[in-house]
Amino acid sequence: MIPRYKMATFLVAIFMIFGLMLSVATDPVLAAGKYKMIFIVKSLDNPFWDRMRAGAEKAGKDLDIDIKTLAPIKPYNVEEQLRFMEDGITQKVDAICVVPADSKGIVPGIEKANKAGIPVVTPNSRAYGGKVATWTGAQNRDVGYDIAKYALGVLGGKGNVIILEGTPGNQTAIDRKKGFDDAIAEYPDIKVLASQTAKYSRVEGMRVMENLVQRFPKIDLVIACNDEMALGAVEALDAAGRLKETKITGFDANNDALKSISEGKMLATGDQRPDAQGYWGVVAAYCYLEGMPVPKDLYLPAPVIDQSNVKQHLK
Amino acid sequence: MEFKESFWAKTRFVPNAAYMFLMTLMIFAIFSPSFLSLMNLSNIMLQSSMITIVALGMTIVMLSNGIDLSIGSVMSLTGVVTGLLLASGSGFVLSILGGIGVGVFCGAFNGIMIAKVGLAPFIATFGMMGIADGVSLFAAGGETLYWEETKFHVIANGHFLAVPMPVWIIIGIFSIMYFILYKTPFGINIFALGGNEEGLRLSGVRIVRNKIGIYILSGIIASFAGIMLASRIASAHPTGGFGYEFEAIAAAVIGGTTFFGGRGGLVGSVFGALIITLIRNGLSLLGYTTPWQYCLIGIILTVCVTINTFYTK
Amino acid sequence: MKFLIPYSRILILLALCALISFFSPHFLQTSNIINILRQAAILNILGVGMTIVIITGGIDLSNGAVLALSSCIAAILLKDAGLPMPIGIIAALIIGCCCGLINGAMVAKVAIPPFVITYAMMFFTRGLAFLFLQGKIIYGFTPEFRFIGTGYLFGVPMPIIISAMVTIIFIFIQKYTPFGSEIYAVGADEEASMLSGIRTKSVVIRVYILSGILSALAGIVYMSRLNASEPVIGEAFPLDAIAAVLIGGTPLSGGEGGVGGTVIGALVITIIINAMNLLGISSLLQTFVLGALIIIMISVQSHSRRLFSLPSIFSANRNGAGS
């Protein structure tokens, strides 16, 4: 057993280190800025949310708002988002922007914010309940439909298609797939070879594609629910030497995907413009706080990006 | 001659976790003005409800020298089953019973695999984790479930005598577990299984029966947590419970229970769960972004366990 | 003699393959088999590290996160700083070594349960990975670097070669070096080992360091194969690696088993996942199938032990105790 005095010194040292670490943090209550807001995204594991954060932070700079962006440790975990909202209410922030990981699951949090008189804005994904000031974004289902329709058109309306689904149970995955399915339903000559999940991840996309390539000698089109999976599929097809004969579409317009499109490896992606969604979400919250009228829905056009217009989108 | 224990000697029964809890509380209170507000404390109690419940269940399993990796998935599955029942209009009581039934069933399955088939608890519960997850996803059709019924909402969000419901529920579960663990033969067997299984077998106790019972208990507790979760987010997500098994283990270990069974207790685990929640909440209030929270949780966990280790030598 | 333990497991593996090929003709194609071997390579490298840790009675939950951190640092050095390939690789290995050192030191010197310290290390390193990469993904490495993950040597994909080399080296260590025997001894009975003169603390530390280095190596192969580095990779690896080790016959209680078995365990898991893709099993059921199959296989194994009646010192505690 360690002698008391050694343990005491050890504990004091821990206290001091701890205290030092904590003092480095900025308590939002003391921070500058005309308004304080928190911006909660769905996860840390996708550059999509990073772009949205960047958009939100830019709005914060433009409008002199102090914005804290948060994301759940467990990706797409609505319970953690609820916690962030509760903590935000405790800190008496001026507004809360949250991208609901689950459209109904977030409602208890919104109701709490409503009770505290804090306006809520939901960029990108809707919330099915509670009083929400504004929603900004594009409908996942519609953009999915547009991309699929475009790709199927390029194929000439017939061919073999593989769908790479997003994380099971994820709202955006469900919506996008519905968009794909609706588009495919319009083309009777299209055959869906397989519809498998690659959990929105690049490496899973690669792995699943590697396996599917074994089974299907002829694949004309791969429609992926997001860019990450599409990029993984690109790697797999490239390694198998079948990139030329297969077209691939993604969703999200992240930088790597845009590069890939300009190199001709990927066919197209849809740009939801997460940065705009984030930016306008914050602006809407600001307007609300300033007493200006705010539209309930802010539709942001989401273009399909292919090689013809990719140059304008590349950063 | 009378033997009187001095007051200070009695304090050795207080788990280290309690002190660490107080320390953490004080540190955050000093550095964050809004930490001690009534609203935040109330939040903390709500936020810690699920991890406290699963920590209690995990403690019991760990005391018997076992482990239950399936509780996260059982939580999700319970949520899904309860959600399905609620959505089909089966009513408040029946749905909850259905949910608990899930816990019983999964726990029994775990127990049988471990006690009768002889699988290591890690593997058996790991397999169950996958199975429950799969069934949960399948039953929910890969989507989140919602329901119209509103009484269910009360479990996580209601108040009784101005105290949040989850606190009452935890007090209830804790009392029952305490009773089972310290006042029944079953409880003694749990400790014995952890300390000296061979000896217990030789003394004639039916090991198989007891082990199955332990895992059924763990399953039931997991299903309580699942019901709590479903009520808190007013929906049932097919993989909502993901990751809780590890948090439960961390809470139990901070509380002083080790993998070698036989030591530590329920009280410690409650404090352990509270410490983990405090850290998350406090760091969030102080404005640390998620990556920093990751790092700090790792460091703080290490510090807490180091202190524990030094004090139990 | 220890090497013969996988005997029953090889039969299970072959039976599994036969079953799957019955349902899917594509399974036994050469390209698919190479596919499987390549996908299993990373899991195998991690599994080897996990095996030696588990043999000493410990566990390493941080291998996925160390994989992520080391690959993130390597990516930053290679891409952003433009440093030559060997420096990036060595940097990654050093990171793996340091993390392993911390893990091992805490387990050996401070006597913290391995589960907890590696769990904490997992959080810590993952947080660092996020902080270093600032949420972006680094993409696009040099062809020389990509050779590690996608190149071929004598017609065999590089990941398979690296994984095979690692396996052979460690089987050698395990069977023919004093260090190998020490690992088993420490796992079987630490007290006795210490009394008989083995420097148990040093053995434990070295084992975790090796696990860390192997995680970093796996990270490099992973990154090279994916041609990208992101902080979220490797979340599933600790549990998958542990499953591979356990299927391979090394019990969590330590003291027995071996790297040879882990190879089979890794193959089994990869094959099951591959088969599910080939057979088009619904995404919703995939975890179910994996979980159920793992349970079935290990049950068969523990019963087949009795069939093959190996000497009792090689059989795990059959009372069901021992987590």
Quote the crossing angle between the two packed helices B16-31 and B266-285, to the nearest 10°. Answer: 10
Amino acid at C38: R
So what's the pLDDT on residue C311? 42
Collect all residues with Cβ–Cβ distance below 8 Å to A192 and sequence separation of at least 6.
Answer: A161, A162, A163, A184
Indicate whether this complex's ipTM tops 0.90.
no
Residues 10 to 29 of C: which have CB under 8 A from any A CB? 24, 26, 29
**Which of A14-18, A230-234, B273-277 is predicted with the least confidence, judged by mean pLDDT?**
A14-18
C302 touches chain B (CB under 8 A): yes
A252 touches chain B (CB under 8 A): no
* CB contact (8 A) between residue B232 and residue A31: no
**Count of CB atoms within 10 A of residue C281's CB?**
15
pLDDT per residue as tens digits for the range C139-186: 778 888 888 888 888 888 889 999 999 999 999 998 899 999 999 998
> Nearest 5°: phi and psi at C111?
60, 40
What is d(CA A33, CA A191) in angstroms, rounded to the nearest whole number? Answer: 56
CA atoms within 13 A on the CB side of B220: 13
pLDDT band at A216 (very low <50, low <70, confident <90, very high): confident
* CB contact (8 A) between residue C284 and residue B142: yes
CA distances from C118 to B277, C239, C243, C323 (A): 20, 13, 17, 17
Pairing verdict, β C156-157 and C152-153: antiparallel
* CB contact (8 A) between residue C277 and residue A206: no
Asked whether residue B73 carries a pLDDT value surpassing 70, the answer given is yes
Asked whether residue B53 carries a pLDDT value surpassing 90, the answer given is yes
User: Of residues B10 and A249, which shows the higher confidence score?
Assistant: A249
So what's the pLDDT on residue C205? 94
Size of interface B-C (CB pairs under 8 A): 164
Chain C's closest residue to A234, CA to CA, is: C226
User: Of residues B26 and C309, which shows the higher confidence score?
Assistant: B26
For the residues C300-304, what does the mean pLDDT come to?
71
Q: Which residues of B touch A1 (CB under 8 A)?
A: 310, 313
What is d(CA C249, CA A7) in angstroms, rounded to the nearest whole number? Answer: 42
B138 touches chain C (CB under 8 A): yes
Q: Which residues of A touch C20 (CB under 8 A)?
A: none
| Tokens of residue A132, six digits | 């929400």
So what's the pLDDT on residue C322? 37
Q: Taking a C-beta distance cutoff of 8 angstroms, is the pair A165, A230 a contact?
A: no
Is the CA virtual torsion B164, B250, B191, B205 positive or negative?
Answer: positive
Collect all residues with Cβ–Cβ distance below 8 Å to A199 and sequence separation of at least 6.
Answer: A166, A167, A168
Q: Which residues of B touch C246 (CB under 8 A)?
A: 120, 122-123
Compare CB distances from A102 to B235, B289, B313 and report the shortest one's residue: B235
Chain B's closest residue to A67, CA to CA, is: B287
Residue C321 to chain A, least CA–CA distance (Å): 31
| Range list of H helices, chain C | 6-23, 30-55, 63-75, 85-108, 114-133, 143-150, 158-176, 178-188, 190-195, 200-226, 237-247, 259-278, 286-308
Asked whether residue C321 carries a pLDDT value surpassing 50, the answer given is no
Quote the crossing angle between the two packed helices C259-278 and C237-247, to the nearest 10°. Answer: 120
For the residues B38-64, what does the mean pLDDT come to?
88
So what's the pLDDT on residue A28? 43
Compare CB distances from A74 to B242, B281, B303 and report the shortest one's residue: B242
**Count of CB atoms within 10 A of residue C318's CB?**
13
**Residue indicated by tokens 């699988």:** B119
CA atoms within 13 A on the CB side of C74: 35
Q: Which residues of C touch B305 (CB under 8 A)?
A: 112-113, 116-117, 120
Which region, left, alpha or beta, applies to residue C309 given φ > 0 means left and ψ of -120 to 50 means alpha? left
C236 touches chain B (CB under 8 A): no
So what's the pLDDT on residue B8? 53
* CB contact (8 A) between residue B291 and residue C130: yes
What is d(CA A88, CA A119) in angstroms, rounded to the nearest whole number? Answer: 12
| Tokens of residue C30, six digits | 């050469």
pLDDT per residue as tens digits for the range B80-115: 999 998 888 888 888 899 999 999 999 999 999 998
Which region, left, alpha or beta, applies to residue A194 given φ > 0 means left and ψ of -120 to 50 means alpha? beta
Measured at the alpha carbon of residue B138, what is the angle toward residues B132 and B143, in degrees to the nearest 5? 110
C158 touches chain A (CB under 8 A): no
User: Of residues A170 and B147, which shows the higher confidence score?
Assistant: B147
Percent helix / strand / coil, chain A, rounded to 5:
45, 15, 35
> Nearest 5°: phi and psi at B61?
-65, -40
User: Of residues B110 and A13, which shows the higher confidence score?
Assistant: B110
> Nearest 5°: phi and psi at A98?
-140, 135
Asked whether residue C223 carries a pLDDT value surpassing 80, the answer given is yes
So what's the pLDDT on residue A22? 58
So what's the pLDDT on residue C304? 64
Q: Which percentage of chain A shows pLDDT scores above 70? A: 89
C125 touches chain B (CB under 8 A): yes
**How would you list the strands of the sheet with A35-40, edge to edge?**
A65-70, A35-40, A95-98, A120-123, A134-137, A297-299
So what's the pLDDT on residue B5? 54
For the residues C222-238, what does the mean pLDDT come to?
84
Q: Taking a C-beta distance cutoff of 8 angstroms, is the pair A114, A130 a contact?
A: yes
For the residues B298-303, what does the mean pLDDT come to?
82
Compare CB distances from C302 to B67, B118, B132 and report the shortest one's residue: B118
**Count of CB atoms within 10 A of residue A194's CB?**
19
Residue A29 to chain B, least CA–CA distance (Å): 8
Asked whether residue C197 carries a pLDDT value surpassing 90, the answer given is no
pLDDT per residue as tens digits for the range B240-272: 888 888 889 888 888 877 776 545 578 888 988
Beta bridge partners of C6: none
Size of interface A-C (CB pairs under 8 A): 71
pLDDT band at B131 (very low <50, low <70, confident <90, very high): very high
Size of interface A-B (CB pairs under 8 A): 125
A111 touches chain C (CB under 8 A): no
* CB contact (8 A) between residue C131 and residue B297: no
For the residues C14-19, what does the mean pLDDT come to?
85
| Tokens of residue B39, six digits | 């609203």
Asked whether residue C274 carries a pLDDT value surpassing 90, the answer given is no
Beta bridge partners of C228: C139
What is d(CA B64, CA B111) in angstroms, rounded to the nearest whole number? Answer: 12
Domain range list for chain C: 32-301
Does residue A11 sit in helix, strand or coil?
helix
Q: Kind and range of the H or E element at B100?
A: helix B92-112
**Which of A213-217, A240-244, B5-9, C91-95 is predicted with the least confidence, judged by mean pLDDT?**
B5-9
Residue B43 to chain A, least CA–CA distance (Å): 7
What is d(CA C30, CA C40) in angstroms, rounded to the nearest whole number? Answer: 15
CA distances from A216 to A81, A198, A211, A266, C280 (A): 41, 17, 9, 20, 11
What is d(CA C164, CA A124) in angstroms, rounded to the nearest whole number? Answer: 47
pLDDT band at C307 (very low <50, low <70, confident <90, very high): low
**Residue indicated by tokens 């409602």:** A107
Cβ-in-10-Å burial (0-12, 13-18, 19+) of A297 comes to: exposed
Residue A304 to chain C, least CA–CA distance (Å): 23
pLDDT band at C2 (very low <50, low <70, confident <90, very high): very low
Asked whether residue B75 carries a pLDDT value surpassing 60, the answer given is yes
| Tokens of residue B27, six digits | 């540190």
Compare CB distances from B137 to A31, A74, A169 and report the shortest one's residue: A169
Q: Which residues of B touch A73 (CB under 8 A)?
A: 290, 293-294
Compare CB distances from B301 to C116, C131, C284 and report the shortest one's residue: C116
Is the CA virtual torsion B35, B41, B42, B45 positive or negative?
Answer: positive
Q: Which residues of A touch B233 (CB under 8 A)?
A: 78-79, 82, 102, 105-106, 108
| Tokens of residue C291, six digits | 């979980």
B236: DSSP letter: B
* CB contact (8 A) between residue B234 and residue A14: no
What is d(CA C62, CA B123) in angstroms, rounded to the nearest whole number? Answer: 19
A203 touches chain C (CB under 8 A): yes
**Residue indicated by tokens 């990171």:** C95
What is d(CA B97, CA B102) in angstroms, rounded to the nearest whole number? Answer: 9
pLDDT per residue as tens digits for the range A177-206: 999 999 999 998 899 988 888 888 888 898
pLDDT band at A8 (very low <50, low <70, confident <90, very high): low
Quote the crossing angle between the two packed helices C237-247 and C63-75, to the nearest 10°. Answer: 130
Amino acid at C191: E
pLDDT band at C315 (very low <50, low <70, confident <90, very high): very low
What is d(CA B263, CA B257) in angstroms, rounded to the nearest whole number? Answer: 6
CATH number for the domain running over C32-301: 1.10.3470.10
For the residues B279-284, what does the mean pLDDT come to?
82
pLDDT band at C320 (very low <50, low <70, confident <90, very high): very low
Q: Which percentage of chain B shows pLDDT scores above 70? A: 92
Chain B's closest residue to C290, CA to CA, is: B130
Q: How far is CA A137 from the centre of its chain?
A: 11
Average pLDDT, chain A: 83
User: Which range among A257-266, B7-16, B219-228, C190-199 has the greatest average pLDDT?
Assistant: B219-228
Q: Give B2-55 as a DSSP string.
A: -----HHHHGGGS-HHHHHHHHHHHHHHHH-GGGGSHHHHHHHHHHHHHHHHHH
Does residue B145 sit in helix, strand or coil?
strand
**Count of CB atoms within 10 A of residue A32's CB?**
8
Chains near C, with 3+ CB pairs < 8 A?
A, B
Residues 112 to 131 of B: which have CB under 8 A from any C CB? 113-124, 126-131
Q: Taking a C-beta distance cutoff of 8 angstroms, is the pair A108, A137 a contact?
A: no
What's the length of chain B? 313
* CB contact (8 A) between residue B294 and residue C119: no
Residue B241 to chain A, least CA–CA distance (Å): 9
Compare CB distances from C287 to B130, B298, B299 and report the shortest one's residue: B130
Q: How far is CA C10 from the centre of its chain?
A: 18
